[in-house]
Amino acid sequence: MNLPKIPIGQGVEWLEDWLTTYFGPFFDLIASIIGGMVSGIETALTFLPAIVLTLIIAALAYWIGKWKMALFAVIGLLLIDNLGLWGPSMQSLALVLTASVLAVLIGVPLGVLCAQSKTVQNIVTPILDFMQTMPAFVYLLPAVSFFSLGVVPGVIASIIFAIPPTIRLTNLGIRQVSEELVEAADAFGSTARQKLFKLQLPIALPTIMAGINQTIMLSLSMVVISSMIGAQGVGAYVYRAVSQAKTGAGFEAGIAIVIVAILLDRLTQNLVKPKKS
């Protein structure tokens, strides 16, 4: 039997055209918001001289964690500056922070909804599976057609790729709050909102933070892919080095990404852990 091919591809393209036609102004609005966020953060990061920002981050690292982390921050950031990658690194950081902030703003409430409703969870879970397994390159294309080339589709692609852990772990963290505690909150006449803010979110916070940490790491891993659609930053240096087979330059840019990654990871990981008293 010779069945005709099911036209999934055509369907997707038709949908893409349709969305571009009818939701163009909407996408433009989103694009200008995201673009504004990225350039705002980038301006803030590059406003200060590299050495001053380095010291601020080191102080932050010392306040959150230990002196070892502060030391690493100083050495790592000075190395980035020394390699001449400070500017592009800050561009990438702006992209990552924008994507992460938006992912958290969307992801945490979605996770809460999943925790409160079995139906929402049943709808959201397969979508998350889809988002995490579909190769990132594939949704880079529609992102470009909706938002054109540049940093904005990079941010969108990063959000799509990086948001699942925040949603999943928020959901998990809230569901893990023990039955007896939830009963206690109910027994004293809490409203759903009081229960959420006074009990579930505070107790789930370490789990949620683990999700946010993962989200930041995943969006950082998208900087190279984003550079393929025109996002500036240290990812573009890696991409260029790879396409020109320049091992040394690629390595330097790679190290800059690793340093930023480690700093972001340690800082966010230790954020909610109480300091040893």
Partner 1 sequence: MAIIEVKELTKVFGHDAGRALPLLEQGWSKEKIAREAKLTVGVNKASFRIEEGEIFVIMGLSGSGKSTLVRLLNRLIEPTGGQVLFKGKDVVKMNPEELRGFRRKNIGMVFQKFGLFPHRTVLANAEYGLEVQGIDKKERTRRAMESLELVGLKGWENHRPDQLSGGMQQRVGLARGLANDPDILLMDEAFSALDPLIRKDMQQELLELQTRVKKTIIFITHDLDEALRIGDRIALMKDGVIVQIGTPEEILIQPANKYVERFVEDVDLSKVLTASHVMRQPELIRPERGPRVALQLMREGGVSSLYVVDQEMKLQGVITADDASQALKENKTILEVMRREIPRVHPDTLLNDLFELMSQAHLPVAVVDEADKLKGIVIKGAVLSALAGNAVPEGGLKL
Structure tokens at 73: 């921050």
CB closer to partner 1, 51 vs 181? 181
Between CA 81 and CA 86, with CA 83 as vertex, the angle to 5 degrees is 35
Nearer to partner 1, 22 or 188 (CB): 188
Residue 185 or 257 having the CB closest to partner 1: 185
As measured in angstroms, the least distance from the Cβ of 269 to partner 1 is 19
Q: Which amino acid appears at position 149 of this protein?
A: L
| Least Cβ distance, residue 166 to partner 1 (angstroms) | 21
Please state the closest distance from residue 183 (CB atom) to partner 1, in A: 5
The nearer residue to partner 1, 199 or 267, going by C-beta atoms, is: 199
68 within 8 A of 176, measured Cβ to Cβ: no
Binding site for partner 1 (CB under 8 A): 180-181, 183-191, 194, 198-199, 202-203
Smallest gap, in angstroms, from Cβ of residue 198 to partner 1? 7
Q: How far is the CB of 187 from partner 1 (least distance, A)?
A: 4
Comparison of 5 and 193: residue with beta carbon closer to partner 1? 193
